[in-house]
Amino acid sequence: MTDLPERAPEKRLGLVIDLDTCVGCHACAVNCKEWNTGGYHAPLTDEQPYAAGTDGIWFNRVHAFEAGEGAAGRTVYFPRSCLHCDDAPCVTVCPTGASYKRAEDGIVLVDEDLCIGCKLCSWACPYGAREYDASAGVIKKCTLCIDRIYNENLEEVERVPACVSTCPANARHYGDFNDPDSDVSRLTRERGGYDLMPEMGCAPTNKYLPPRPARKGGEGGDEVLADAESPGGVLGWIDRLLSA
């Protein structure tokens, strides 16, 4: 099996996703698909793209959930991709060393030359963030656009993951969680950034910002959203859906 890095990474690069401002436009998913089809993991194959049973490889998927009831209800859009966990079970179950976590920045990657397509990593991931490419016979996943964030041929402002660069609502933020002054660290502190399914013990790097309570007619808003981390809160509710 594969070992995790012995020391904590020098950087902890990752994303903060704001569930309050995500509008479910899928721009992040589409731009991710476009960039990665010509990048590190090219191609991201699609099966029967023009048939009723279309399926394919998407590193980022956006789900929609209805939270609350009646006038207090609202739609919450929930983007899902690899969380680049500190204690990544997808890495430790890999029998060939194909799945690994980089010591320098904490990004979790797959070496396709070593991957045998056994899918152990996808079974171990509690977030469903691994994608099996049947055409290539290997596992693929979000790379945090490693071929973009370190690309010195790009303007510095463009050296962010494709999903971040294209979000029209500014719901996605990228940075170093080891830097207390970074945007991702500040947002996590100020907005109560949340680990998805913390009970799994994976210590995900990526954080989610909970939706703010709705403001309708001066009332307090939807109780489902008022305390996102409570068992009845929206993120606890999403945890239960993903755990089912």
Per-residue pLDDT of the chain (244 residues; tens, 9 = 90+): 678 888 888 899 999 999 999 999 999 999 999 999 887 767 888 887 788 877 889 999 999 988 777 777 788 899 999 999 999 999 999 999 999 999 999 999 999 999 999 999 999 999 999 999 988 999 999 999 999 999 999 999 999 999 999 999 999 999 999 999 999 999 999 999 999 999 999 999 999 999 877 665 544 444 445 455 555 566 666 666 666 5
Contacts with 30 (C-beta within 8 Å, 6 or more apart), sequence order? 166
pLDDT at position 74 is 82
**Topology classification of domain 13-243:** Alpha-Beta Plaits (3.30.70)
pLDDT at position 38 is 81
Domain ranges of the chain: 13-243
pTM of the entire predicted model:
0.84
